Chain A
Amino acid sequence: MSSTIGLEPVLGRSDEMIVNMGPQHPATHGVLRVVIGLEGERITRAVPHIGYLHRNHEKIEESRTYFQVVPFTDRMDYVSGTQNELPVVLAVEDLAGIEVPERAKMIRTMFFELFRIASHLVWMGTAMLDLGAITPFLYTFWDREIILGIVERTAGARMLPNYYTFGGVRRDLHPHFFKDVAEFLDHLEKRMPDYEHLVLENPIVHARTVGVGVLSKERAVARGVSGPVLRASGVAYDVRKAFPYDAYPEVEFEIPTSDAGDTYARFWVRFQEIYQSVKILRQLLEKTPKTGPFKGRAPARLKISGERYRAVENSRGELGVYVVGDGGDKPYRIKHRGAAFSNLQVIPDLFIGAKFSDAIAILSSLDPVFGEIDR
């Protein structure tokens, strides 16, 4: 009976209370269930349980052709849209030797960064919701709405666009795309000071986050953490710089890092990433030709043999895919390496010793999305 909840009561420790947090807890960002041992308000043990949103992505994708795989990947990390499609597209392009026009690469990168901003805005709203502030949530979703509108005008859907394809993107940009994005960036730059006032400079946020849930550099590396969580622990690893893809070699940006490793540092790094995304988008808006090819030549039927791992830096970290082709038009094996999944592995490290209310703040700073974790 007790083994079903993952924590055995320890004999002689009657002061420990075992509490089930989730899977329907409003602050678990979906369907995470953490079984927590509590001594008063201190967490003594924590065991995360995942899999409530398991949809068997990898096996379904192995029974589909390469072209059919792409829309499925959208459904993994549903907050960051097209970012999920890119690893599969890159890996298959490498294996099949498909050329991508420069303009298509730039379009892809622009969408990638737009969704990074959208994803971080969602994180900002929901993290503050967890800490008890409702107003930032309303404002960030207001701004995210503009991004989704821009995406819909070109890609045809708001959250799950299925926009990238082998050799480029599916449709050319909307005529007003450049104007829309430039207007949005101006708008966002006006908004960012407001968000800093409401989030980063707020004393309540300081009290709840500074020094809470410190993740050391060694522990972060050992757990395979990536993305903003890793960079907040002082490791300047970013797939965009380490293994550049698409148009990233052509743009200049910095990797914001913090040595603190606490919850506030993870908040801060995500804020700086929004500024860096704005910087990348501004450069790409100037560089991208207004007209030109948006898709290279790709065969109608792909027959692929060989194996390839490609990774991208999505909003949560290193999102990778390992594709094995056996010469047929369907992949022999597809393995997704989810960033949020790896980031979730630090839960026992960070929760144990923290107070229960801090657990909520720590979890929101990890920014898990359960579509991707459970896959």
Chain B
Amino acid sequence: MSLLNEVWQAVKAIGTGMATVHKRVYEEAPTEFYPYVELDLPPVSVQSLALVENEDGTERCIVCLQCERACPSQVISIERHRNPEGKGFLIDRFDIDLVNCMYCSACVEACPVSSIVTIQDFELSTYDLHTLKADIDFLHEQARRSKKWYSPKLGVEIRTEDGRIEKAPPEMQPGGLAELLKPAAEEEES
């Protein structure tokens, strides 16, 4: 009797297992065909860092060293000198060790002028880690390459077709900004 029972239990288990698996066979597979289909990442997604230049090609960074101080991994190293004509400082060297960076975006939050930003571009796979010791040209190139970037102070900015830098529309802004603006717009209409 117990043997019959055991056989029945086994058959039942295989039956439920197969039925459960069978249900999912016809569901859409969650596979992402990444290198062939570009991923649509949310604008706040932290994938890499970049240093934005102004539209006219001048430096947006004011070399205040806030990012260097905020960095928990201490991967940012900056050297600067006083501007001989006018106020402020000029950059001698701006290096980020992207290998040891842990992408916590503390530097991005510390930046007072939204110069250092996070981008959604993660195409930095390499066989040689030395290529990830980013200098200022590398970081500028990252910003030029990416179409949009995020910083908490200015939100999402996008680069238009003709190279201008614009603030992204509210739908693209994170933090429910579009939702916040919607009722105000409706009130104005009424």
Answer whether residue A354 sits at the interface, using C-beta atoms and an 8 A cutoff: no
In the assembled complex, which residues on chain B have CB atoms less than 8 Å from the CB atom of A142? Answer: 30
> Using a Cβ–Cβ cut-off of 8 Å, how many residues does chain A contribute to the interface with B?
37
By the criterion CB–CB under 8 Å, are A157 and B103 in contact?
Answer: yes
By the criterion CB–CB under 8 Å, are A71 and B16 in contact?
Answer: no
By the criterion CB–CB under 8 Å, are B118 and A156 in contact?
Answer: yes
Residues of chain B in range 82-137 having any CB-CB distance to chain A below 8 Å = 102-106, 109, 118
Answer whether residue B21 sits at the interface, using C-beta atoms and an 8 A cutoff: yes
Q: Which of A160, A173, A175, A294 gathers the greatest number of chain B CB atoms within 10 Å?
A: A175
- The segment from A196-204, A218-226, A237-245, A355-363 that touches chain B is A196-204
- The segment from B40-48, B140-148, B159-167 that touches chain A is B40-48
CB distance from B9 to the nearest CB of A (A): 5
Across the interface, name the chain A residue whose C-beta is closest to B103: A157
In the assembled complex, which residues on chain B have CB atoms less than 8 Å from the CB atom of A171? Answer: 44, 152, 174-175
Task: Using known A-B contacts A67-B70, A71-B102, determine if residue A173 contacts B17 with beta carbons closer than 8 Å.
Answer: no
Cβ proximity bits A276-291 to B, threshold 8 Å, 1 near / 0 not: 0000000000000011
Across the interface, name the chain A residue whose C-beta is closest to B118: A156
By the criterion CB–CB under 8 Å, are A203 and B10 in contact?
Answer: yes
Cβ proximity bits A163-178 to B, threshold 8 Å, 1 near / 0 not: 0000000111111010
In the assembled complex, which residues on chain A have CB atoms less than 8 Å from the CB atom of B104? Answer: 71, 74, 160, 162
In the assembled complex, which residues on chain B have CB atoms less than 8 Å from the CB atom of A198? Answer: 17, 20
By the criterion CB–CB under 8 Å, are B174 and A157 in contact?
Answer: no
By the criterion CB–CB under 8 Å, are A173 and B176 in contact?
Answer: yes
CB distance from A20 to the nearest CB of B (A): 32
For the complex, what is the distance from the CA of A197 to the CA of B21, rounded to whole Å?
10
Task: Using known A-B contacts A142-B30, A153-B42, determine if residue A172 contacts B174 with beta carbons closer than 8 Å.
Answer: yes
Known interface pairs A198-B17, A203-B10; 12 further A-B residue pairs with C-beta atoms within 8 A, sorted by A's residue number: A71-B104, A135-B17, A153-B42, A155-B44, A157-B45, A157-B103, A160-B104, A162-B106, A174-B42, A175-B177, A197-B19, A291-B176
List 30 A-B residue pairs with CB atoms under 8 Å apart, sorted by A's residue number: A67-B70, A69-B72, A71-B102, A71-B104, A71-B106, A72-B72, A74-B104, A75-B102, A145-B30, A153-B44, A154-B44, A154-B174, A156-B42, A156-B44, A156-B46, A156-B105, A157-B45, A162-B105, A171-B174, A172-B175, A174-B42, A175-B178, A175-B179, A194-B20, A194-B23, A197-B16, A197-B17, A201-B13, A291-B179, A291-B180
